[in-house]
Amino acid sequence: MMNDSLCTFAGRREEVLVAYLYDEADFETRATFDRHLTTCAQCRTELQAFRGVRAEMGRWSSPELADHVNVTFGHPVPVPVPVPVPLASGGFIAAMRQVPAWAQVAAAMLFVGVAAGVANLHVTYGQDGLTVRTGWYQTAPAVAAAPAVDPSNAPWHNDLAALEQQIRSELDARPVPTAAPAAGDETTARRVNLMLQDSERRQQRELALRLAELMRDVQSQRQADLVKIERSLGVIRSRTGQTGIEVMRTQRQVNSLAQQVSQRP
């Protein structure tokens, strides 16, 4: 007759029983417990009961997933890598996005300089003030040369020669002028240089302003496009995510209605 008294297993009985139940006991422990089971009704009963519980638990299945988990992965790389945009897909504006601002300003200034060289600009300062004009102006057509005349036989030749001699002698007798006119030339030259520099600075500032405006417009247009794209993606995600839940809710309602109908006499 089997002994129904309390278990006398020497050791951590509960842990060994569970390890035995799930077949995770080592060889020695298993052999020891096997021997113990031959003499202990309590352990045998409990082991059998736990096996029954496991069998019942095996009947509990989780509901099926209505649809796959909706996890949207755009660019899964940990560090975002900029994707170069070909010219064909966005043109000059798309290519401009990839170039730093300072490089764009430098390129624009180079362009202006080359354009000025091509235009062959001439800057002069005279009685009419500062004048800037291109060098590509047409000269007046050459006047037709007069027919050559032999002056030695002209009746007025002697008179002309005498007059020339008289003017030369008068010029030689005139005193040498002072340095005042030279200082005036230097001042004028300095003023012209200052005006030129001022003009260049104004042109550069204006160019930089125009480039900054252009960049701002490009950037804001890009941001607007990105926002539009994000909104479109959000609409698609929300529609997809809700579809599975709505189907499940509808199915429950149909089940409930079917039950009510089936229960009517």
Q: Which residue ranges make up the site for other proteins (CB under 8 A)?
A: 12, 14-15, 17-19, 22, 24, 49-50, 52-54, 56-63, 65, 68-71, 73-78, 81, 245, 248, 252, 255-256, 258-259, 262
CA distance 204 to 105: 10
Q: From the CB of 38, what's the least distance to other proteins, in Å?
A: 21
Q: From the CB of 31, what's the least distance to other proteins, in Å?
A: 19
Q: From the CB of 42, what's the least distance to other proteins, in Å?
A: 13
Q: From the CB of 24, what's the least distance to other proteins, in Å?
A: 6
What tokens appear for 72 in the block? 């949207």
CA distance 125 to 202: 18
Residues 6+ apart with CB under 8 A from 196: 123
CA distance 23 to 29: 11
Q: From the CB of 241, what's the least distance to other proteins, in Å?
A: 9
Pairing of strands 129-134, 121-126: antiparallel
Contact 73, 46 (CB under 8 A): no
Q: From the CB of 197, what's the least distance to other proteins, in Å?
A: 54
CA distance 232 to 229: 5
Looking at the Cβ atoms of 78 and 100, the one nearer to other proteins is 78
Looking at the Cβ atoms of 50 and 125, the one nearer to other proteins is 50
Looking at the Cβ atoms of 151 and 234, the one nearer to other proteins is 234
Looking at the Cβ atoms of 174 and 264, the one nearer to other proteins is 264
Looking at the Cβ atoms of 48 and 187, the one nearer to other proteins is 48
Looking at the Cβ atoms of 26 and 170, the one nearer to other proteins is 26
Give me the residues paired with residue 174 across strands: none
Three-class SS string for 57-116? HCCCCCCCCCCCCCCCCCCCCCCCCCCCCCHHHHHHHHHHHCCCHHHHHHHHHHHHHHHH
